[in-house]
Structure 1
């Protein structure tokens, strides 16, 4: 009996080793697949454009990019040269809509070198020479410049801890820890703030 067990034992050990080796190889292959999903996009497109319309069929938002890549492992979409166009007065989901005049013709155009969005979140992260410009007869702000900007497309809130330059009609504000809303054009800088003014005449 003992001799039979001794003859079977090597086979039993071989089976156990084979089982663990198979599992180890499977784990390694899965790890490699996961790494590949994180580093290789499963979707790539050029000249991407997505549009948003209100209930009246009027265009109020658009995202354009020269290139877009989607990484399944990270659930992240990366953009090259993204441009965001947004009209607060036409966005009926905007909580500040009641404060805007119906004839408000202003819109925001926000450009950057790169951008990214994760999952189903409404926030887009813009990096590199971010310029947000606005138009309209009622606008006193012309441009906002920074190196990094977060935009919540659901609430039109913007924020960044980086240096920001706000350029307006006859004034320029500089500072850090910037936040505000695109619709109301209410912005604040809470660190290292200073401003310069021009175009004022002194009364004699």
Structure 2
């Protein structure tokens, strides 16, 4: 009889310990939150096509890219082979800007690097193509600037300068420092 009671006490002790172990491992233990790694992207995507609208609901720009990586800790999005399209009044494509790489900082400043090509898509535009190695674009105001050598090719003109600034909305560009131009008279 004594052995039977001792067996029941041992069984109760084992059950009690097992219950305590399961509670501490699954219910009472605090969840560990892992902080995102700043060196690794929060998400990646391939072959993206994203359209952005302004506060009035009018299409502002569209960006396409072969590969995208978003880094939340840095507040940056990296684009491989991006192409940016801007729109006039949300309907007509005005500008097409392409490069090898781009970084979107704070959701409004796009820095494009590596063979940046800007094409004016309006049929009666005087400026046709702008080439440079780096371009910074404010996506809200549509202002852009570059501190690298820039070449502008247009109807009857080719001009080159050390820096450029302008605005895609007003279609104005200004070459700065060491500007050299060549003009050709148009034949009727």
TM-score (norm 2): 0.74
Q: Which residue of 2 aligns with 1:27?
A: none
Q: Which residue of 1 aligns with 2:97?
A: 110
Q: 1:53 to 1:75 in 2, by over 3 A?
A: closer
Q: For 2:158, what is the secondary structure of its paired residue?
A: strand
Q: 1:106 to 1:65 in 2, by over 3 A?
A: closer
2: CA distance between counterparts of 1:52 and 1:75? 18
Aligned-residue offset at 1:76: 1.2
Q: How does 1:33-112 map to 2 (within 5 A)?
A: 37-53=37-53, 59-87=59-87, 89-91=88-90, 105=92, 107-112=94-99
Q: For 2:125, what is the secondary structure of its paired residue?
A: coil
Match of 1:130 among 116, 123, 126: 116
2: CA distance between counterparts of 1:56 and 1:168? 33
2: CA distance between counterparts of 1:117 and 1:143? 23
Q: For 2:164, what is the secondary structure of its paired residue?
A: strand
After superposition, give the CA deviation of every residue in 1:157-191 in whole Å (9 maximum; x if it has no partner).
01011000001011011002210011211111120
Aligned-residue offset at 1:42: 1.7
1: CA distance between counterparts of 2:170 and 2:47? 31
Q: 1:169 to 1:128 in 2, by over 3 A?
A: same
Q: 1:59 to 1:72 in 2, by over 3 A?
A: closer
TM-score (norm 1): 0.68
Q: Which residue of 2 aligns with 1:23?
A: none
Between Structure 1 and Structure 2, how many residues are aligned?
Answer: 154
Gaps of 5+ in 2: 1-33
1: CA distance between counterparts of 2:75 and 2:59? 28
After superposition, give the CA deviation of every residue in 1:39-86 in whole Å (9 maximum; x if it has no partner).
211210001111134678664420111110012231211000011000
Moved over 3 A (4+): 53-60
RCO greater where, 1 or 2, for CA within 8 Å and sep 6 or more? Answer: 1
Q: For 1:109, what is the secondary structure of its paired residue?
A: strand
Q: For 1:138, what is the secondary structure of its paired residue?
A: coil
Q: Which residue of 1 aligns with 2:25?
A: none
